[in-house]
A = this chain, B = another copy of it.
Amino acid sequence: MKGEAAPAAEPISSHAIRMDAAALNAFMAEAFPHSRPGSRGHVVSAAPGHVQARLDPNEQALRPGGLVSGPTQMGLADMAAYALVLAHIGPVAMAVTSALNYQFLRPCRPGPVMADAHMLRLGKRLAVMDVRLWTDDPERPIGQANVTYAIP
């Protein structure tokens, strides 16, 4: 149903990335000077089609019962997706979130939260990504997001 011209013949996973984890973290630290590491997280690794991010939640990221709050989870998913787009298109372009659909799957206990973002499609105007959040077992995600970014 999507009539937009398909990208080149190679799958997205063969694309080269333009920014590695260090470059992504430096870019985001400058872009979001007011956010703290304990609420934003950082990029652990970046590869073609995949970025892994990690958050060590601070006290304000928790909600009653000591669980990591929903907005904190969604913020981490958004950050991982943003990093995945930047890794592929580079720091020059201004990409903006167009839609974020989040499913809360299991209670998110305190401690490090990992986010694996995979590219589903990188088009000229839209990037669509799948993001899984997990704590102790990647096979038992605590949340799943589908994130769409508009590329200018």
Contact = CB atoms under 8 A, between A and B. Distances in A.
Interface of A: 1-4, 6, 11-13, 31-32, 34-36, 59-60, 62-65, 67-75, 78, 94, 96-108, 120-121, 125-126, 128, 130, 137, 139-142, 144, 146, 148, 150, 152
A99 B107 contact: no
Nearest to A144: B120
B99 A101 contact: yes
Contact of A103 (B36, B71, B73, B120): B120
Kindly report how many copies of this chain are found in the complex they form together: 4
A127 to B, nearest CB: 11
Contact of A144 (B1, B96, B146): B146
A84 B68 CA distance: 22
Contacts of A100: 70, 74, 101-102, 104
Q: Top 4 nearest A-B pairs by Cβ distance?
A: A71-B75, A1-B70, A2-B104, A105-B121
Of A1, A31, A71, A102, chain B has the most CB atoms within 10 Å of the CB of A1
B13 A139 contact: yes
A105 B99 CA distance: 9
A125 to B, nearest CB: 6
